């Protein structure tokens, strides 16, 4: 839990996050689980290669934060199945934004999964899903099979298949908002321009954490991620959680920037005070009236209401 990571740093604040799992990105990449099973709508079935044996079937992969523990396995299976890969925002960076396998970041808005076109695939292989980011009821229109275990041990029959196209309606719609926004010179700043300004200010190993809400939405939605672990937007909304994750990240030795929408709440201030006292490498960036938050309506028009952080 996040509170266990916070307790050595800020014991008085740790209890506020006792019910919140730690983001997978804060854990070492590559801690692979054991066992192999398919989970279909809650029912465990023995593994059978027949599920992915037909080379004429179109397979997509949907990955959540749990997949970060088996990164090499995800890449291997995606390559051999020729599968495009969509990630929920907790697995942002599992592929760079411009990789041929990358379908886009999803789970933030009501229509994300539909706009990904998952219902058009014969099978959607779901890996490491967090129910807070992708509840089963929002995936009921597609044939989704949850896989648990080591993907490196998953036999894929036949030769590697050609990569299915990864460009989706979701990707196209969000790109139509983000790409012009990145270079928009208007003031107050377009939120996508704020995201790009932030990215261009970062060091090569700097991590961004963000508070759920408008700041977290725009970062999770439009930050052009080029490496694993560079962005963390928690899946649970609690006051100060973006700063709490940033504090832990900095304590682990990673240069970190925490982005919040102003005004800054008292818990965030307390957490940042801890960082200052401990001389940890984390700074706070506050987005306030210098951001044109009305542009969020463009996202809603493209992919429906925001459904993230309802847990």
End residue of a domain, out of 119, 143, 166: 166
Clarify whether residues 178 and 227 are in a common domain: yes
Instruction: Band the pLDDT of 176: cuts 50, 70, 90.
Output: very high
Q: Look at residue 15 and tell me whether its pLDDT is greater than 60.
A: yes
Question: Is residue 24 in a domain?
Answer: no
CATH code assigned at 224: 3.40.50.970
In the sheet that holds 123-127, the strands lie side by side as: 43-45, 36-40, 144-149, 123-127, 59-63, 85-88, 102-106
Clarify whether residues 119 and 197 are in a common domain: no
Structure tokens at 307: 């459904």
Of the candidate ranges 124-128, 208-212, 299-303, the one whose mean pLDDT is the lowest:
124-128
Clarify whether residues 40 and 162 are in a common domain: yes
Average pLDDT over residues 236-257: 96
End residue of a domain, out of 140, 166, 192: 166
Residue 42 pLDDT? 40
27 CA to centre of own chain = 14
Residue 48 pLDDT? 57
Question: Is residue 29 in a domain?
Answer: no
Clarify whether residues 53 and 103 are in a common domain: yes
Question: Is residue 40 in a domain?
Answer: yes
Clarify whether residues 46 and 126 are in a common domain: yes
Task: Give the CA angle between residues 129, 126, 244 to the nearest 5°.
Answer: 20
End residue of a domain, out of 119, 146, 166: 166
Clarify whether residues 179 and 299 are in a common domain: yes
pLDDT tens digits for range 42-82? 444 444 566 777 788 889 999 999 888 888 889 999 999 99
Clarify whether residues 42 and 153 are in a common domain: yes
Of the candidate ranges 39-48, 91-100, 272-281, 284-293, the one whose mean pLDDT is the lowest:
39-48
182: how many CB neighbours lie within 10 A of its CB?
A: 18
Structure tokens at 136: 């089963």
Average pLDDT over residues 154-178: 88
- Asked if residues 112 and 308 have their Cβ atoms less than 8 Å apart, the reply is no
Beta bridge pairs of residue 125: 61, 145
Residue 46 pLDDT? 47
Query: What's the structural domain count of the chain?
Result: 2
Question: Is residue 61 in a domain?
Answer: yes
Q: Look at residue 139 and tell me whether its pLDDT is greater than 80.
A: yes
Clarify whether residues 203 and 259 are in a common domain: yes
- Taking the C-alpha atoms of residue 196 and residue 257, their distance in angstroms, rounded to an integer, is 14
Clarify whether residues 227 and 289 are in a common domain: yes
CATH code assigned at 146: 3.40.50
Residue 242 pLDDT? 97
Whole-model pTM: value is 0.90
Clarify whether residues 89 and 111 are in a common domain: yes
Clarify whether residues 156 and 195 are in a common domain: no
Clarify whether residues 229 and 151 are in a common domain: no
Query: What rounded mean pLDDT belongs to the chain?
Result: 89
Structure tokens at 151: 């993907």
* Full domain range(s) for residue 256: 171-303
């Amino acid at each position: 839990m996040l509170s266990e990571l916070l307790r050595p740093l800020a014991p008085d604040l740790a209890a506020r996050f006792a019910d919140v799992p730690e983001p997978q990105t804060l854990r070492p990449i590559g801690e692979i689980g054991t066992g192999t099973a398919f989970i279909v709508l809650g029912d465990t079935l023995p593994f059978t290669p027949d599920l992915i044996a037909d080379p004429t079937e179109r397979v997509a992969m949907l990955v959540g934060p749990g997949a970060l523990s088996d990164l090499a396995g995800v890449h291997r299976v995606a390559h051999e199945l020729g599968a495009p890969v969509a990630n929920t925002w907790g697995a942002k960076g599992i592929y760079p934004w411009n990789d041929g396998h990358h379908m886009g970041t999803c789970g933030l808005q009501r229509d994300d999964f539909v706009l990904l076109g998952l219902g058009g695939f014969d099978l959607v292989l779901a890996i490491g899903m967090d129910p807070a980011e992708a509840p089963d009821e929002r995936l009921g229109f597609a044939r989704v099979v949850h896989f648990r275990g080591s993907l490196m041990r998953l036999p894929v029959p036949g030769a590697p298949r050609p990569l299915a196209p990864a460009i989706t309606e979701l990707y196209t719609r969000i790109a139509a908002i983000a790409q012009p926004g990145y270079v928009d010179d208007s003031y107050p700043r377009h939120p996508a321009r704020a995201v790009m300004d932030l990215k261009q200010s970062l060091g090569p190993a700097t991590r961004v954490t963000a508070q759920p809400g408008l700041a977290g939405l725009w970062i999770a939605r439009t930050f052009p991620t080029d490496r694993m672990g560079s962005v963390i937007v928690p899946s649970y909304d609690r006051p100060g959680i973006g700063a709490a994750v940033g504090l832990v990240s900095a304590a682990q030795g990673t240069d970190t920037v925490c982005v919040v929408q102003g005004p800054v709440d008292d818990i965030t201030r307390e957490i940042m005070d801890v960082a200052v006292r401990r001389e940890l490498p984390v700074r706070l960036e506050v987005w306030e009236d210098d951001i044109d938050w009305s542009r969020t309506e463009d996202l809603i028009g493209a992919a429906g209401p925001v459904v993230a952080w309802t847990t």
